[in-house]
A and B are shown apart, each in its own frame.
Chain A
Amino acid sequence: MAGKPVLHYFDGRGRMESTRWLLAAAGIEFEEKFVTCPEDLEKLRKDGVLMFQQVPMVEMDGMKLVQSRAILNYIANKYNLYGKDTKERLLIDMYTEGMADLNELISSLIITPPDQKESKMNLIRDRTKNRYLPAFEKVLKGHGQDYLVGNKLSKADILLTELLYMVEEFDASLLANFTLLQALKTRISNLPNVKKFLQPGSQRKPPMTEEKLEEARKVFKF
């Protein structure tokens, strides 16, 4: 249409939410076409627009982008959220890959069988408190700057903020001793574009519910 990116995904967070955060933080307006039933996914596949028959897919700059990391990297590059050189890119990649591991862990809780839920929750708590949050707090403490890399907003800060909100939803007490992370979360949340995205009625998606999960199971057949 007007040249806005078009996001094709399920009406839920899943593997598209980080892309929504990044576009929003970059101030880029986007449209969404939701896959709500198996037929929607079949149509996209038949139309040949999904390179690996999967969503997320983002129509942007005349291309059909797939694979969430490829999409995030492209957007970060395009909107100068990927550092100024190879070393800054490396740091941003290292940090965001660590974040992706924790994000994946927390997101997997809803599909964990009931008899394994408690041990999964303990694992999430342990990893959050003893592995991931300390690592990022240490980075901020190390240079004393407002942003994770290069004293400038990057993909790393935006995705960390997304992750911190997820951690808060899971167990707010986990953030207690991480003062620099809390400050970063507040700082990013107050950026005008992010502030708007955090308000009700934005394209930000709520946490997955059992009901939504059933819908997703029908569409994606898992």
Chain B
Amino acid sequence: MSGKPVLHYFNIQGRMESIRWLLAAAGVEFEEKLIMCQEDLDKLKNDGLLMFHQVPMVEMDGMKMVQSRAILNYIATKYNLYGKDMKERLLIDMYTEGMADLFELSFKVILGPPEQRDATKSLIKDRAKNRFFPAFEKVLKSHGQGYLVGNKLSKADILLTELMYCVEEFDASLLTNFPLLQALKTRVSNLPNVKKFLQPGSQRKPFTTPEMFEEMKKSFKF
């Protein structure tokens, strides 16, 4: 069609949201084919488009890309958001993998048993406040630069900003003691592409609650 990437996923944040953030921040317009029911998903599988029978899947550059980390790494490399050398890549990977741990906990709130939801939410708050945010604040403090790695916007800054918005949904006060993180969040949010993405009507998905997910599940067999 138009050569724009096409994102195949459910109408929720889930494992596609980081990809939406990264493309948006890179100024890359994309289309979405939302999977609204089991038949939509089955069609993708039966057409052989999903290497491991799963979404996210992104059609881009003539390929059907799957696995969110692979997709994020490809986009980051293509749009110069992955540092300038091996050592910068390593730092970006280390930081984004730490962020992924916290994102996984947020998925667990939605996907895990209802009776464990409160415990998981407490764990998210605890880990954010005592493990992850201090680590990233320390990075920014150590070099005093505006971005996490190499004094330049990278996948790490964009995903950390996404993470901060996510964690805020659990407890808005969590960023209180992290002035450099707050400054980074503001700085990245004010970049023209990100600012646009943060406005109502963009392709950004609303914060997914367990109730929203339960409702969505009704159209599927899982």
A→B interface (CB under 8 Å): 51-53, 63, 65-70, 73-74, 77-78, 86-87, 89-90, 93-94, 97-98, 101, 131-132, 135
Interchain Cβ contacts under 8 Å between A and B, 21 examples: A51-B135, A52-B98, A52-B131, A52-B132, A69-B93, A69-B97, A70-B93, A70-B94, A73-B89, A73-B90, A74-B86, A87-B61, A90-B70, A93-B69, A93-B73, A93-B74, A94-B51, A94-B66, A98-B52, A101-B52, A135-B52
The distance from the CB of A129 to the nearest CB of chain B, in whole angstroms, is: 13
Q: Within 8 Å of chain A (Cβ to Cβ): is B109?
A: no
Q: Within 8 Å of chain A (Cβ to Cβ): is B53?
A: yes
- The answer to whether A131 and B53 have CB atoms under 8 Å apart is yes
B131 CB contact (under 8 Å) in A53, A68, A74, A89:
A53
The distance from the CB of B136 to the nearest CB of chain A, in whole angstroms, is: 10
Q: Within 8 Å of chain A (Cβ to Cβ): is B101?
A: yes
- The answer to whether B97 and A70 have CB atoms under 8 Å apart is yes
Q: How far, in angstroms, from A97 to B69 measured CA to CA in the complex?
A: 7
Q: Within 8 Å of chain A (Cβ to Cβ): is B16?
A: no
Cβ-closest 10 pairs across A and B:
A93-B70, A67-B97, A70-B93, A97-B67, A70-B94, A94-B70, A90-B74, A74-B90, A98-B52, A52-B98
Q: How far, in angstroms, from A16 to B135 measured CA to CA in the complex?
A: 22
Q: Which residue of B lies closest to A91 (CB)?
A: B70
Q: Within 8 Å of chain A (Cβ to Cβ): is B221?
A: no
Q: Which residue of B lies closest to A68 (CB)?
A: B97
Q: How far, in angstroms, from A94 to B89 measured CA to CA in the complex?
A: 18
Q: Within 8 Å of chain A (Cβ to Cβ): is B65?
A: yes
The distance from the CB of B89 to the nearest CB of chain A, in whole angstroms, is: 7
Q: Within 8 Å of chain A (Cβ to Cβ): is B77?
A: yes
- The answer to whether A67 and B98 have CB atoms under 8 Å apart is yes
B contact face: mostly helix, strand, loop, or mixed: helix
User: A51 contacts which chain B residues (CB < 8 A)?
Assistant: 94, 98, 135
Q: Within 8 Å of chain A (Cβ to Cβ): is B119?
A: no
- The answer to whether B78 and A86 have CB atoms under 8 Å apart is yes
Q: How large is the interface on B (under 10, 10 to 19, 20 to 34, 35 or more residues)?
A: 20 to 34
User: B131 contacts which chain A residues (CB < 8 A)?
Assistant: 52-53
Q: Which residue of A lies closest to B138 (CB)?
A: A51
User: A53 contacts which chain B residues (CB < 8 A)?
Assistant: 131
- The answer to whether A93 and B93 have CB atoms under 8 Å apart is no
Q: How far, in angstroms, from A68 to B74 measured CA to CA in the complex?
A: 19
User: A131 contacts which chain B residues (CB < 8 A)?
Assistant: 52-53
Known: A53-B131, A65-B94, A66-B94. A90 touches B65 (CB 8 A): yes
A89 CB contact (under 8 Å) in B63, B73, B97, B135:
B73
Q: How far, in angstroms, from A213 to B90 measured CA to CA in the complex?
A: 31
The distance from the CB of A91 to the nearest CB of chain B, in whole angstroms, is: 8
The digit string for B50-82, where 1 denotes a CB below 8 A from any CB of A, is: 011100000001010111111001100110000
The distance from the CB of B102 to the nearest CB of chain A, in whole angstroms, is: 10
Q: Apart from A63-B87, A98-B66, list 7 A-B contacts with CB within 8 A.
A: A67-B97, A68-B97, A86-B74, A90-B63, A93-B69, A93-B74, A135-B51
User: A86 contacts which chain B residues (CB < 8 A)?
Assistant: 74, 77-78
Chain A CB within 10 A, most for which of B52, B69, B132, B135: B52
B93 CB contact (under 8 Å) in A63, A67, A90:
A67
Q: How far, in angstroms, from A52 to B97 measured CA to CA in the complex?
A: 10
The distance from the CB of B110 to the nearest CB of chain A, in whole angstroms, is: 18
The distance from the CB of B142 to the nearest CB of chain A, in whole angstroms, is: 12
